[in-house]
Amino acid sequence: DAKTTQPTSMDCAEGRAANLPCNHSTISGNEYVYWYRQIHSQGPQYIIHGLKNNETNEMASLIITEDRKSSTLILPHATLRDTAVYYCIVSPRPSTGANSKLTFGKGITLSVRP
Amino acid sequence: SAVISQKPSRDICQRGTSLTIQCQVDSQVTMMFWYRQQPGQSLTLIATANQGSEATYESGFVIDKFPISRPNLTFSTLTVSNMSPEDSSIYLCSVEDGTATSFNEQFFGPGTRLTVL
């Protein structure tokens, strides 16, 4: 079972920031928070990951609360192409030879409207 | 990043038959994964396939139903055996980037959409 809970859906206006919440209250100390997204009819795509510090890359920002029990993925300027299902996943940092499986929950469907 | 292709992209099959799905990667990778995504659902991991060893299956999936081959570091196949309509799903393979040793970045193929009549 997925160790995360996300709202079922949300929408935002094009050009505005999209803030996608995720709860992971049972996260362990060695587990990272990963975000993937799945655009319709495509395979999932990695977005970002973090342990306890906030992270930013060219796609998004990840804000993790100090107690690590929740996080928010921020798409700073959402476009129509960002319409997708976004999955928040917790998983241990892989070590050499370890099984790095990802457990996907139901995700949150983000709809970006013109 | 790894580029992954799958064949076939889609198929319609009769119940009781078997279908083999191919996954090709443009670089050598250690770990490959097979997922199933049933209509309207999230992804469920079927098995992990490492080159040179038997695949490791997740709970609810067995080798007789989903035999997997991993003959080399760039290729794997998943067979869906003795199919029933309940096997209608999208089947995706993914690989872990061998250079991304510090985190679980997986790259996914486009999927194979299977319909069983």
**pLDDT tens for residues A4-55?**
999 999 999 999 999 999 999 999 888 889 999 999 989 999 999 999 989 9
Judge whether B105 is closer than 8 Å to chain A, CB to CB: yes
| Closest CA of chain B from A13, distance in Å | 25
Coil vs helix vs strand at A39: coil
Beta carbons of A55 and A61 less than 8 angstroms apart: yes
Low-confidence residues of chain B: pLDDT under 70: 98-104
Three-class secondary structure assignment of A27-56: CCCCEEEEEEEECCCCCCEEEEEECCCCEE
Of A43, A101, A105, the CB nearest to B111: A43
